[in-house]
Each structure stands twice: as C-alpha cells, then as structure tokens.
Amino acid sequence: MIEIRDLEVRIGDRVIAAVPHLDVGPGQCVAIVGESGSGKTTTLLAILGLLDEAATVTGSIEAFGVRSPSTLRGSKIALVMQSPQGALTPTMRLGTLLRRALALHGVRGRAAADRTRQALRDVLLEDEILRRYPHQVSGGQAQRFALALALALGAEVILADEPTSALDVTVQAEVVAVLRRLHEERGLAVLLVSHDLALVSSIADHVVVMKDGQVVESGPAAEMFAHPAAGYTRELIAATPELPDA
C-alpha cells in the first residue's frame, strides 16, 4: 500500500531523514521509533507532501501504485496528529467539520450521514459528540474523532504521529485499543510514529528504528524486541520503564 525506496530529505546540506526501504502492506502496522529529531515525523510528512518548501526530497514514494501519494491525502491515506484538538477549528462543531470534510471529497447527503454513523461506532463514540465544539471534548475523544474522520473519508492507511503522547495513561489505553481493533478486525494499515516502545510492542508487526535521520535497524517487531541487533535499539529498550507487578 505504501512503498518507499531510497527516500532522502535534505534542508541545505543536512540530511533530515534517509529511509532506504520501507513497505506498509494491507492490514499491517509498521512503527517508526526513535528519539526526538530522528526523522520519524519528517518521513510521514514526506509521504503526504506536507514538508516545508525548503526541504529537498529525493527517492521514490508510492501509495496504491500512485507515485504522488499527496493526491490521495484525506481519502486513501489520512494523518492523525499528536494533538488533534489543536488541529480542529475551535469555532466549528465537530459535526460541521466532518460534513465539510466529506463534502470536500464529494460525499454528501445520506451517504455522508451513513459513513458518519458507522465511523463513530467504529471508534466507540456516540452521535451526540457531533454537536460539541473541540473544547468540549476530552483529549481521548478528540483523538478518536480524528480516527472517525479518517474512516468516514474511506482511508485505508492511517499515518499516526505520536497518537497517544498527549494523553494520560488510562486514555492512552482506550485509543490504543481502538487502533488495535481497527487494525486487526478492519484490516486497516497503520504507519505509526512513536517513542513509546510499550505501545509499539503491543500493536506493531514491523519496526523501523531511526537515529539522527538514519535507519539503524528494521525488522519484525517480535524479533527486534527479543533480539535487537543495533546498540541504539538496545539502549531504547533498556530506557523503557517497567512498572512493578501489583
């Protein structure tokens, strides 16, 4: 569904992200992990064509066989950001926002209503949330609404940029549960950016580790967590706090 080959993003002489090879298949969850500034989010934005004009992008990015994935933005591919409340128009009810997004992609009337109801059910939200403004919902509800918007638009690949980092632990669990169910039951493909290795280990099929803009290790999640090859990967795993048994 997404194929990246020899991707390189530069600003001036500096390489911000270099990804030689990355594939996301149907129903697969691929996670990109690493510290801040490692090139994780830059890779997502390159796929969507949302990088600053100062950035130079070389290499090949294809999605659904299309060499310009940005043309599929909001339909086949959707971005769920770290803090969705900051991306939602504060003066617009959520229902109005959703209807306008669907209309922008040619979905109106009964079709839009049907898609909206199904998408809300899929993320365990009640219809009444559509009457609220962004400031009237919790962070977890806003994140699930962002997922519902992507589903209503018909997205088959979700690019999730640190989707739980702005949430408390209990709400994180709710959002992760919804993501995992959509991934497993609906066959939704997910490209997840996260520094939370506990989250990654619970949902990802494949992991790409980045440091200073470079991929240092890539492979099946279970194998990588059990037998990390790169020293940096071992450091990341060792730095993950473990809660004591109750």
Choice among 136-140, 180-184, 192-196 with the minimum mean pLDDT: 180-184
Q: What is the DSSP string of 145-168?
A: HHHHHHHHTT-SEEEEESTTTTS-
Quote the pLDDT of residue 246. 41
Question: Span 162-174, mean pLDDT?
Answer: 78
pLDDT digits (tens, 9 = 90+) for 73-128: 888 999 988 877 777 889 999 999 999 999 999 999 999 999 999 999 999 999 99
Quote the pLDDT of residue 83. 78
Q: What is the chain's mean pLDDT, rounded?
A: 90
Among residues 171, 99, 88, the alpha carbon closest in space to that of 133 is found at 88
CATH of domain 2-238: 3.40.50.300
Q: Residue 242 — pLDDT band, cuts 50, 70, 90?
A: low
Quote the pLDDT of residue 244. 46
Quote the pLDDT of residue 9. 97
Question: Span 9-24, mean pLDDT?
Answer: 96
Give the percent of the chain with pLDDT over 90: 65
Quote the pLDDT of residue 85. 76
Among residues 191, 235, 202, the alpha carbon closest in space to that of 216 is found at 235
Question: Span 191-205, mean pLDDT?
Answer: 89
Distances (CA, A) of 191 to 159, 163, 239, 243: 5, 11, 23, 27
